[in-house]
Amino acid sequence: MRPVWNNQNIHWKTKIRLFNTNVKTVLLYGAEIWKRTRRLDQSLQVFINKCLRQVLRIRWSEKISNQDLWARTGQQPVTNSILQKKWRWIVHTLRRTQPNIARQALDWNPQGQRRKGRPTNSWRRTLDTELRKIRMSWGEAKAMAMDRTRWRAVVKALCSDRGEED
């Protein structure tokens, strides 16, 4: 995409739209089921910031904060984007009929210890941790998933405090 970013005949807003539709979507494809780590989030954010700075033709000598960069381009931190995708996918799966295998997989919670060398947290355990931050249990989240307006408020609460640590 470097020739597009360097092309001075294309307006920067068009470049941002191209970035969102072509680069960011491919980069975050399937991110809703990733087991995220701080290192992964940081590498994704660094790549996105680098692309945005190329689009806006901001050189390394020009100091601009990430928040200013995101405000100029209408972006949000990558952690928010991934969390929104993740919780939208979860609610989509929870609204399916009961015999659906994806819905059954969300309810499955393996017990016991993990093998030596494996991460202590699983994807499912991260869900419970995120829900605990807003003082909600998995059962309450499943019940609330059927009400779309209340669920939007839950997703907003889950994603609201993200990105300030960058």
For the segment 87-128, what is each residue's pLDDT rounded down to a tens digit? 888 888 888 888 888 888 887 777 777 788 877 777 778 888
What pLDDT, on the 0 to 100 scale, is given for residue 161?
Answer: 58
In tens, the pLDDT along 24-77 reads: 999 999 988 888 889 999 999 999 999 999 999 988 888 899 999 999 999 999
Residue with tokens 């393996």: 110
Phi and psi at residue 115, in whole multiples of 5°?
Answer: -60, 160
Tokens in use for 7? 């092309």
pLDDT higher than threshold 70 for residue 164:
no
Residues 123-150, mean pLDDT to the nearest whole number: 84
What pLDDT, on the 0 to 100 scale, is given for residue 124?
Answer: 78
Alpha helices in 7-160 (DSSP H): 12-18, 25-27, 38-55, 66-73, 78-94, 101-107, 123-133, 138-144, 148-160
Task: Indicate the pTM of the whole model.
Answer: 0.79
